[in-house]
């Protein structure tokens, strides 16, 4: 019986923790906070990557090598959403 009560308390605490976490994430989204991994290129670097791709015709691999990031980060910098005043 004691273990049953402890299991119920643990389940209740877990549910409470999930609720608080989700409420905190929702509040952060409402404030406009970026959630997830940081974007590794600055707005200036993203503008420069877009320029190099459109004007100079550089490949994503070349752009990635210049900024020392992966090709996927270079692709997102050129094609992804514009953030941070870029």
Residues 78 and 41: their CA atoms lie apart, in Å, by: 11
pTM for the structure as a whole: 0.52
Comparing 37 with 66, the larger pLDDT belongs to 66
**Is 41 in a helix, a strand, or coil?**
coil
Encode pLDDT of 26-59 as tens digits. 999 999 887 877 778 888 999 999 999 999 999 9
Q: Tell me what percent of the residues of the chain surpass a pLDDT of 70.
A: 93
- Give the number of residues written for the chain: 86
């Amino acid at each position: 019986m004691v273990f049953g009560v402890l299991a119920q308390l643990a389940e209740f605490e877990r549910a409470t923790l999930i609720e608080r976490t989700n409420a905190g994430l929702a509040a952060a989204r409402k404030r406009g906070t970026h959630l997830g991994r940081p974007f590794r290129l600055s707005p200036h670097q993203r503008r420069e990557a877009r320029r190099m791709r459109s004007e100079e015709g550089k490949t994503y691999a070349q752009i990635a090598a210049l900024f020392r990031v992966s090709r996927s980060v270079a692709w997102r910098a050129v094609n992804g959403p514009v953030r941070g005043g870029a």
